[in-house]
């Protein structure tokens, strides 16, 4: 394998698989030169049950997303008066990112977006004939026309226009072909999005559909929106890029309707490290931004959440701790990690005293606490810490460690 390619999978911050770069693996990829992130946290987070962001919180998150390097920020001014005011304030911040208003096919939504002085709109309309007929009593042609009329209205008023038909993956292909062609030719959409609204598409299905839509409207940038009901959202985004999509719709920490959307932090790291395509995202600000969003939404991710979960760089397994120490001595921590914490601006990993501890980890911890023991005492203390962890169902705190040491030594605590 060429040395130029080797730089793609191993650096001082990560060590990944060279097999990702084999010609046999990449022969069917149609990667864009760059992937832009269309960040939808400010809209989708409010659709996550039990999350409700105020105006000042949305403004703070918008600033952080802009500093992170996203291409555009989506917000829905029509949701409430507070959202309208938040949209106006964000539009006036002078951000580098485009401010895109989420609108339906009602003209009043576009009028409100214009009032908020946004850069553009993303026009949400149904992309499956079944819903068009069942919910609104529309024929497929009437359904397409309503979306086209809204896009053209926005375009005539000087807005950047993105078509966002939803539930595409259950619509007939002939309907989709007509919808996307008319969105561009009649609606004058600048870009179009393909929506995996319910998260059930296989990644290779997405590759196929992206290439199909590109063949219908050559030269028009394709965006990708997707949800995580089947745990496929990140894979769906990678597949979209492999098919030639240039823009990914993501949210911080996977916030969004039902099981959430594709995560900004996962999509950015995966596209850059695994596909080798630039996203414009400052990866070192991912951890900070994720922490900020979790604090403001009061929605904490699971400890084992990829990329930004609290367990990402921590371990409580004795043999893993031993290997990490060996890797550290060898000067290559990526020998036991996919990437270093500093890649995403996260604090150094920590060792956790739990059920999986070994003598080595306990000895290391006791040394940090200024405690020395005999070999026999160390063995007993280690077993007691394991037992205490099983009772607590978690980490054994320092105070409890000192109590255990005192009991084993027969000393007062």
Tens digits of residue pLDDT in 149-193: 999 999 999 999 999 999 999 999 999 999 999 999 999 999 999
d(CA 161, CA 124): 11
What pLDDT sits at residue 139? 96
**pLDDT band per the 50, 70, 90 thresholds, residue 65:** very high
Has residue 8 been placed in a domain?
no
Task: Check whether residue 268 and residue 226 sit in a common domain.
Answer: yes
Instruction: Look at residues 143, 35, 42 and name the one whose alpha carbon lies nearest to residue 89.
Output: 42
Confidence label for 274 from pLDDT (cuts 50, 70 and 90) = very high
Average pLDDT score over residue span 117-124: 98
Measured from the Cβ of residue 328, the count of other Cβ atoms closer than 10 Å reads: 12
| Residue 87: closest CA among 55, 121, 54 | 55
**Number of residues in the chain:** 413
| Residues paired with residue 248 on neighbouring β-strands, in sequence order | 37, 224
**How many whole angstroms separate alpha carbon 27 and alpha carbon 151?**
37
Same domain membership, residue 120 and residue 66: yes
Compute, in degrees rounded to 10, the torsion defined by CA atoms 196, 200, 204, 209: -40
**Beta-bridge partner residues of 53:** none
Residue 3 inside a domain? The answer is no
* pLDDT value of residue 6: 55
Q: Is the dihedral of CA 352, 358, 359, 360 positive or negative?
A: negative
Q: Are 367 and 245 within one domain?
A: no
179 and 65, same domain (yes or no): yes
Query: Is residue 306 in a domain?
Result: no
Burial of 383: CB neighbours in 10 Å, binned 0-12, 13-18, 19+: middle
**% of the chain at pLDDT higher than 70:** 99
| DSSP bridge partners of 249 | 38
Inside any domain, residue 87: yes
**Rounded to two decimals, what is the model's pTM?**
0.90
Is pLDDT at 4 greater than 70 in this prediction? no
pLDDT (mean) for 92-112? 97
Neighbours of 77 (CB within 10 A): 27
How confident is the model over 18-37, as a mean pLDDT?
95
- DSSP 3-state of 92: coil
Q: Which of 34-48, 197-211, 324-338 has the lowest mean pLDDT?
A: 324-338
* Residue 352 shares a structural domain with residue 387: yes
Q: How many C-beta neighbours within 10 Å does residue 216 have?
A: 16
pLDDT score of 352 more than 60: yes
The strand pair at 191-196 and 222-226 is best described as: parallel
Do 369 and 229 belong to one domain? Answer: no
Identify the pLDDT of residue 3: 41
Residues 29 and 153 in one domain: yes
290 and 142 part of one domain: yes
Whether residues 244 and 162 fall in one domain: yes
> Are residues 281 and 373 located together in one domain of the fold?
no
Domain boundary at 252, 267, 297, which?
Answer: 297
Mean pLDDT (whole number) for 268-295: 97
The mean pLDDT of 85-92, rounded to a whole number, is 97
Domain closes at, from 297, 329, 346: 297
Identify whether 36 is part of a domain.
yes
Token pair for residue 184? 């561009």
Confirm whether 6 is domain-assigned.
Answer: no
Q: Which of 297, 329, 356 is where one domain is finished?
A: 297
Domain containing 68 equals 18-297
Mean pLDDT of the chain: 93
In this prediction, residue 262 carries a pLDDT of: 96
Q: Give dist(CA 149, CA 50) in Å, integer.
A: 35
Q: How many domains does the chain have?
A: 2
Contact between 300 and 55 under an 8 Å Cβ cutoff? The reply is: no
CB atoms within 10 A of CB 44: 25
233 occurs within a structural domain = yes
CA distance 295 to 47: 17
Tokens of 214: 């590109």
pLDDT in tens, 198-241: 999 999 999 999 999 999 999 999 999 999 999 999 999 999 99
Domain shared by 290 and 327, yes or no:
no
Is the pLDDT at 334 greater than 90, yes or no? no
Q: Rounded distance, CA 37 to CA 104, Å?
A: 22
Neighbours of 213 (CB within 10 A): 24
Assess if residue 81 is contained within a domain.
yes
Q: Which two tokens stand for residue 274?
A: 């695994």
Confidence of residue 356 (pLDDT cuts 50, 70, 90): confident
Say what the pLDDT of residue 104 is: 95
Q: Find the distance separating the first CA and the last CA of the chain, reported in whole Å.
A: 61
* Pairwise CA distance, residues 406 & 265, whole Å: 45
User: Over the stretch 359-407, which tens digit does the pLDDT of each residue have?
Assistant: 888 888 888 888 888 889 889 988 988 888 899 888 888 898 899 888 8
pLDDT average, residue stretch 35-44: 97
CATH of the domain at 119: 3.20.20.70
Same domain, 223 and 101: yes
Helix axis angle for 173-185 and 140-156, nearest 10°, is: 20
């Amino acid at each position: 394998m060429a040395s130029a390619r080797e730089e793609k999978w191993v650096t001082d911050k990560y060590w990944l698989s060279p097999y990702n770069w084999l010609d046999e693996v990449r022969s069917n990829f149609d990667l864009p030169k760059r992937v832009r992130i269309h960040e939808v946290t400010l809209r989708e987070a409010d659709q996550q049950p039990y999350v409700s962001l105020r105006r000042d919180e949305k403004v703070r998150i918008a600033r952080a997303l802009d500093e992170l390097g996203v291409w555009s920020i989506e917000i829905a001014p029509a949701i409430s008066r507070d959202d309208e005011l938040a949209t106006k304030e964000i539009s006036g911040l002078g951000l580098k990112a485009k401010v895109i208003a989420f609108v339906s096919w009602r003209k009043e939504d576009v009028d409100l977006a214009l009032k908020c002085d946004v850069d553009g709109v993303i026009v949400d309309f149904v992309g499956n004939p079944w819903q068009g007929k069942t919910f609104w009593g529309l024929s497929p042609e009437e359904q397409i026309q309503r979306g086209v009329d809204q896009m053209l209205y926005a375009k005539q008023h000087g807005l950047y226009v993105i078509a966002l038909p939803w539930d595409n993956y259950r619509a007939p292909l002939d309907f989709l072909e007509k919808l996307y062609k008319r969105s561009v030719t009649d609606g004058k959409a600048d870009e179009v999005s393909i929506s995996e609204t319910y998260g059930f598409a296989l990644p290779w299905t997405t590759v196929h559909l992206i290439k199909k839509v590109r063949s219908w409207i050559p030269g028009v940038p394709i965006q990708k929106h997707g949800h995580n009901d089947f745990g496929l959202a990140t894979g769906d985004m990678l597949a979209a890029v492999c098919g030639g999509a240039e823009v990914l719709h993501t949210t911080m920490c996977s916030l969004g309707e039902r099981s959430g959307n594709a995560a900004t932090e996962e999509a950015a790291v995966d596209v850059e490290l695994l596909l080798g395509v630039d996203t414009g995202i400052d990866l070192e600000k991912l951890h900070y931004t994720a922490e900020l969003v979790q604090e403001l939404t009061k929605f904490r991710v699971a400890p084992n959440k990829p990329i930004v979960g609290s367990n990402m760089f921590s371990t409580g397994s004795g043999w893993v701790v031993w290997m990490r120490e060996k890797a550290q001595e060898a000067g290559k921590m990526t020998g036991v990690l996919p990437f270093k914490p500093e890649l995403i601006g996260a604090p150094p990993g920590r060792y956790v005293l739990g059920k999986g501890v070994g003598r080595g980890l306990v000895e290391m911890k006791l040394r940090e606490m200024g405690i020395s023991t005999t070999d026999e005492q160390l063995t007993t203390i280690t077993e007691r810490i394991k037992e205490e962890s099983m009772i607590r169902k978690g980490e054994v705190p320092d105070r409890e460690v000192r109590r255990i040491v005192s009991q084993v030594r027969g000393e007062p605590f």
